[in-house]
Amino acid sequence: MSKEPSSAADARRRVTELIRDARIGMLTTISLDGRQVSRPMGLQDAEFDGDLWFFAYADSAKVRQIRVNPEVNIAFSDQRRHAWVSVTGTATEAFDPARAERLWHPLLRTWFPDGPDTPGLTLIKVHASAAEYWDSPGGTVVNLLGFARAAVTGRPPEPGENREVRY
């Protein structure tokens, strides 16, 4: 087996880990007048196989925007680990009662008071076409030392790992 597929598989696994750790992503859609609009969305606990799932109301602006222009981006940030992920993909409204039951979490009742049976509830499925991540090794102390070293030497700090992944 060649090294590249293993490396690509490792990068996909790392994207999955970083997304799961961050849990909240900023979903960016294109408004009906062409502006980019971002809002926080809670990622549902699911195996990331290239698809991300979010609960929403079917009559929400984000769902209306996705129906017109399905190209979206979701940005995740995990400040504790100094890691960031940007996922580009195509979103669709994909409500399925069985999937809603499987993905349901009790904390969602704050927004959807009747649980998976909330009137107007739908699911947004984002099928990833690509992802890029930035993973800074060592945490805050190492990053601060890197920035201090950069200030003294005039060379930029080591950026950590940056990879692009295709799905």
Domains in the chain: ranges and CATH: 3-166 (2.30.110.10)
Spell out the per-residue pLDDT of the chain, length 167, in tens: 333 345 778 888 888 888 988 889 999 999 999 999 999 999 886 667 789 999 999 999 999 999 999 999 999 998 888 889 999 999 999 999 999 999 999 999 999 999 999 999 999 999 999 999 988 765 443 344 444 455 555 665 455 667 677 77
Residue 3 has what pLDDT?
37
Tokens representing residue 112 in the block: 């959807």
**Interstrand relation of 51-57 and 121-135 (parallel, antiparallel or unpaired):** antiparallel
**Interstrand relation of 83-93 and 121-135 (parallel, antiparallel or unpaired):** antiparallel
Q: Answer whether 16's CB lies under 8 Å from 50's CB.
A: no
Q: What is the 3-state secondary structure (H, E, C) of the chain?
A: CCHHHHHHHHHHHHHHHHHHHHCEEEEEEECCCCCEEEEEEECCCCCCCCEEEEEEECCCHHHHHHHHCCEEEEEEEECCCCEEEEEEEEEEECCCHHHHHHHCCHHHHHCCCCHHHCCCEEEEEEEEEEEEEEECCCHHHHHHHHHHHHHHHCCCCCCCEEEEEEC
Residue 23 has what pLDDT?
86
Residue 99 has what pLDDT?
93
Residue 159 has what pLDDT?
55
Residue 50 has what pLDDT?
84
